[in-house]
Amino acid sequence: MAVHNHSQFQHLYFVLMGIPGLEQKYYWMAFPLGAIYVIALFGNGIIISTIKSESSLHIPMYYFLCMLAFADMGLTLCTLPSMLGIFWFNYKFISFDGCLVQMYFIHTFSAIESGVLVAMAIDRVIAIWSPLRYGTILTNGVVCKIGVLILSRAVCVVFPVPFLIKRLPFYRSNILSHSFCLHQDVMRLACASTRVNSLYGLIAVIFTKGSDSLSILFSYVFILRTVMAIASGEGRLKALNTCVSHICAVLIFYVPLIGVSVIHRFGKHLSPLTHALMANAYLLVPPVLNPIVYTVKTKEIRKKIIQIFTRTKITTEG
């Protein structure tokens, strides 16, 4: 019996969709899109450099924030080439292997961000439940181990995904639904059974984002019980105020993620424009809004931004 090589039935490239129905406005959309990427890279870069340079921020809460900023920068850089290629140069092609690489890093950084949000929730639990032991429980060594665990989990869980796609034949349509490569989007173009891919994808989501969302939920149930036990109203408000930024980050990450998942499963009747906008929001909103939220809540980061703009103004005037 002849052995069939699936590589004979794979496209050399995929065609990225962009935003359907707005092709004539790509030129005008290029500038705000570029601004979004600048804000995401600049904002997360400022957070990382501020935490590195300010000794007062060398505590677990800000180490985890630094990890979140790294994950956001990774997500931003993953989609940057294909998004700008489409909207700035109307270049919609991506090689098959290039698509698999982009898909791997998008899902890996997304899993890292989800894991970091859990670590930040645990950090808030310890800070509110046992503030006097906070520094002895979350030592630098423990924070490093948590970071390595988050990274290892994401890398290992997502690692099989490109190989599961690589084994499938593709010889019909090569047009993707988005401006970048996502596992479920590439998988639907396969010309063979994708049961294994679907099953592994479901297991991976449950093991990462499913378990993470439950861990965050249980963490906040514990936090609320602890806060309610505080005698003074002022003390309760002060404790809850330390969680505001993290709650915003959780909503910023999980609301678009849930929206994309629901639309993918139950929104087959919706227009391609809706699918494209939700997918773009899922990957672009967290890297842009997280730095803004933490800048508003962190005095040291605000001072750093003011210093940069002051130096820039002096240099320009000089």
- Which among 177, 181, 144, 148 is positioned nearest to 165, based on CA atoms? 181
Most confident of 46-50, 110-114, 262-266: 110-114
Report the 10 Å Cβ neighbour count for 200: 15
C-alpha 309, offset from chain centre: 28
Do residues 168 and 197 make contact, with C-beta atoms less than 8 angstroms apart? yes
H or E element that contains 13: strand 13-15
Give the confidence band of 318 by pLDDT, cuts at 50, 70, 90: low
Give the confidence band of 221 by pLDDT, cuts at 50, 70, 90: very high
Report the 10 Å Cβ neighbour count for 129: 17
Q: 232: helix, coil or strand?
A: coil
Give the confidence band of 267 by pLDDT, cuts at 50, 70, 90: low
pTM: 0.91
pLDDT digits (tens, 9 = 90+) for 154-213: 999 999 999 999 988 888 888 888 889 999 889 989 988 899 999 999 999 999 999 999
pLDDT digits (tens, 9 = 90+) for 10-23: 778 899 988 877 77
How many H helices and E strands in the chain? 13, 2
pLDDT digits (tens, 9 = 90+) for 20-59: 777 777 778 888 888 999 999 999 999 999 899 888 889 9
The pLDDT, as a whole number, for residue 304 is 76
Q: Report the percentage of the chain scoring pLDDT > 90.
A: 55
Torsion of CA 307, 284, 18, 199, to 10 degrees: 150
Average pLDDT of the chain to the nearest whole number? 88
Give the confidence band of 8 by pLDDT, cuts at 50, 70, 90: low
Residue 118's identity, in one-letter code, is V
Alpha helices in the chain (DSSP H): 26-53, 60-89, 96-129, 134-137, 140-158, 160-166, 183-187, 195-205, 211-228, 233-241, 244-266, 272-297, 299-317
Question: CA torsion sign, 96 to 32 to 177 to 205?
Answer: positive
**Cα angle, residue 93 at apex, residues 89 and 94 outer, rounded to 5°:** 120
Q: Is the pLDDT reported for residue 1 higher than 50?
A: no
Q: 213: helix, coil or strand?
A: helix
The pLDDT, as a whole number, for residue 277 is 83
Question: Angle, nearest 10°, between helix axes 96-129 and 244-266?
Answer: 140
Q: DSSP for 284-299, please give it.
A: HHHHHHHHHHHHHH-H
Tell me the C-alpha distance between 125 and 26, whole Å.
46
Do residues 203 and 244 make contact, with C-beta atoms less than 8 angstroms apart? no
Question: Angle, nearest 10°, between helix axes 26-53 and 272-297?
Answer: 30
Q: 83: helix, coil or strand?
A: helix
The pLDDT, as a whole number, for residue 313 is 65
Instruction: Decide the pairing of beta strands 93-95 and 13-15.
Output: antiparallel
What are the distances in angstroms from CA 162 to CA 173, 181, 188, 191, 202?
19, 11, 14, 16, 15
